[in-house]
Amino acid sequence: MIERTIDIETRDGRCTTFVVHPERGGPAPVLLFYMDAPGIREELRDMARRLAACGYYVMLPNLYYRDGVMEIWPIPMDPEAPERKRMFALMSNVTIENVMRDTETLIAFADADAAARPGSIGTLGYCMSGQHAINAAARFPARVTAAASLYGVMLITDKPTSPHRVANKAKAELYFACAERDSWAPLDTVRQLDASLKEDGVLA
């Protein structure tokens, strides 16, 4: 397995990105892995390594680079803890538009790397980034052929970038993994999402 941490130039600065892929058998299909709220840490790098072990060229970008932050782990359970408040403040600065610009740059980087297979890519968003994976599929339908939201939040909002609104713009197969008990994505929200996807004829 080959892995490296690199700074990719974007319009807004340098996005530190963990890249991992098999040493042999390439080029490997590209998978963009969007982080959860606590930021880049060894737990996420291990997840990226597991995905790469399945044959993928995995890119794990630090979405907090605009704020100069990489990791805010561990996060205390106390809702009043400064670390938890800081996490939510950072989350609010990660906009869909910014992440889509970053995604375009990440795709261009992969296209220039001989270890990455050109053409179709996949996107995977964890927790706060489930919405990013789905939006990427909608924004880049000619490239993203599979997108997964794992325990995603903000699945239904009144914004035009809400996953339930943009899903029908994607040509990818979409996957939503939702928990039976999740205060950030309650079952009522999941049911609404399911109904919306079915109404729009979305492959999910």
- pLDDT tens, 87-145? 888 888 899 999 999 999 999 999 999 999 999 999 999 999 999 999 999 999 999 99
Burial profile 44-80: b = 16 or more Cβ within 10 angstroms, e = fewer: bbebbbebbeeebbbbbbbbbbbeebeebeeeeeeee
Q: Which two tokens stand for residue 66?
A: 């605009």
Instruction: Output the pTM of the full model.
Output: 0.93
Domain locations in the chain as residue ranges: 2-199
Q: Give the pLDDT confidence of 169-186 residue by residue, as tens digits.
A: 999 999 999 988 888 888
Please, which residues have CB within 8 angstroms of residue 1's CB and are 6 or more apart in sequence?
20, 21, 22, 23, 49, 52, 53
Residue-wise pLDDT for 46-94, tens only, equals: 999 999 999 999 999 999 999 888 777 777 777 788 888 888 888 888 9
Instruction: Give the fold, CATH level 3, of 2-199.
Output: Rossmann fold (3.40.50)
Distance CA 181, CA 99 (A): 28
